[in-house]
Amino acid sequence: MRGILFMLVAILLLSCMDALAKWLMTTHDVSAIQILAIRSIIIVPLMLVIFSVRNEASVLKPKRLNLHIWRGCIGFISPLAFFLGIKHIPLTDAIVLFFSSIFIVTILSVFVLKEKVGVHRWASICVGFIGVLIVATPEGGGQLKGYLLVLLGSATYSVLFVSSRYLSSTESVASMVFSYNACVGVIAMMLLPWFWQNVNLTQSLWLVALSLLAVAGHYCITMAFASSEASLVAPFEYSGILWGIAFDYYVWHTLPAYSTLGGATIIIASGLYIVHRERVRGQAVNTS
């Protein structure tokens, strides 16, 4: 239950962050680059202070710096594409589409991590992408470029996730989180002169709140996976769809289209089956 509660809280916090980002960009013309820059400016020093106080600053140092840099550069595209995408489509649609990352992660694990994927999971991947195509129809009221941007964010997030598993043999989780946010911050700061929008005190406070939501959300996700089996807590990520529907209804006064709900059902079912098959495979490996 501890892991499940951490995951539910994490998804709530991160859904609030996404809704706040969409609100700032659509209502106050704050740029996605500006959001990423300020988020990293807050997260990186905060991590340094926390780990220094605990006398654990050394764990932030990467052992394979070049791979961390490549990972950070590719990973920069994920939040940027997602934030740009949610400007043009309902938040619920974006959240549903982003869950397609589980299918891409499974495919990448075959080629990068040399994992074996059986016919059951390949079938689930094919069915899941049918759900993605259903969601990405114009019935949801969004623009095609928004759906494509979110899918790009999902694909690059998958690369980020698989690279974390690849580096986990030599790198600490803290070092990967730190280097990733540092890379995102450096790239965003380099681009910031072309995208800066003047913000007032209230908007600045909202940006700080967004950054703190990101920190707290990722901390809770880490604690969720540290407290329980991944196959147990991962399905509760889908609670984000409920929060997306709530924000769309109360903030933007929209409800998901039938195509979104239908596609979401297919994606969730396929994702849950992949998690189930992964758990069965893990149990078989442990037994042998």
> Cα–Cα distance between 207 and 172 in angstroms, integer?
28
Give percent above pLDDT 70 in the chain: 90
As a whole number of angstroms, the distance between CA 255 and CA 175 comes to 40
What is the domain partition of the chain in residue ranges?
2-287
pLDDT at position 15 is: 92
Q: What is the pLDDT of residues 181-198, one digit of tens each?
A: 899 999 999 999 888 888
Residue 154: how many other CB atoms lie within 10 Å: 24
For position 84, what pLDDT does the model report? 93
Categorise residue 230: left if φ over 0, alpha if ψ from -120 to 50, beta otherwise: alpha
Q: CA–CA separation, 32 vs 34, rounded Å?
A: 5
CB 32 within 8 A of CB 188: no
Q: Tell me the C-alpha distance between 77 and 79, whole Å.
A: 6
pLDDT at 129: 79
Asked whether the predicted pLDDT for residue 226 surpasses 80, the reply is no
205: Cβ contacts below 8 Å, ≥ 6 apart: none
Q: Is the dihedral of CA 36, 39, 42, 48 positive or negative?
A: negative
User: Are 32 and 83 contacting, i.e. CB atoms less than 8 angstroms apart?
Assistant: yes
Q: Is the pLDDT of residue 224 over 80?
A: no
DSSP 64: S
Query: What are the structure tokens assigned to 71, written together?
Result: 């990972």
Which tokens is 181 given?
Answer: 């946010």
